[in-house]
Amino acid sequence: MYTTCRDVTPWRVAFRRRYFTSARQLQKSLDGFLRFYNEERPHQGYRTQGRTPAEVFWGPVGSAKEV
């Protein structure tokens, strides 16, 4: 059961609910998120220096797709 809050704050509005009707849909969504997080989104840590986790792990040229 969901309850609602009367105060609307920006961080609450940012969340969106997704409903999955099958395990396949859920897995496809998770795979897409992990691909984005590890291969497309540059991280802000001082050791990563703007590189993606895949670039840090596999090197600047290689990626998990090539292995």
pLDDT tens track for 3-14? 555 565 655 555
The three-class DSSP label of residue 17 is coil
The rounded distance, in Å, linking the Cα atoms of 52 and 63 is 10
At which residue do the structure tokens 């849909």 appear?
25
Per-residue pLDDT at 31: 96
CB contact at 8 A, 30 and 38:
no
Per-residue pLDDT at 23: 92
**Which token pair is 55?**
């670039």
**Which token pair is 4?**
């609602």
- Output the pTM of the full model: 0.56
CB contact at 8 A, 54 and 38:
yes
Predicted confidence (pLDDT) per residue in 26-62, tens digit:
999 999 999 998 889 888 888 778 888 888 888 876 5
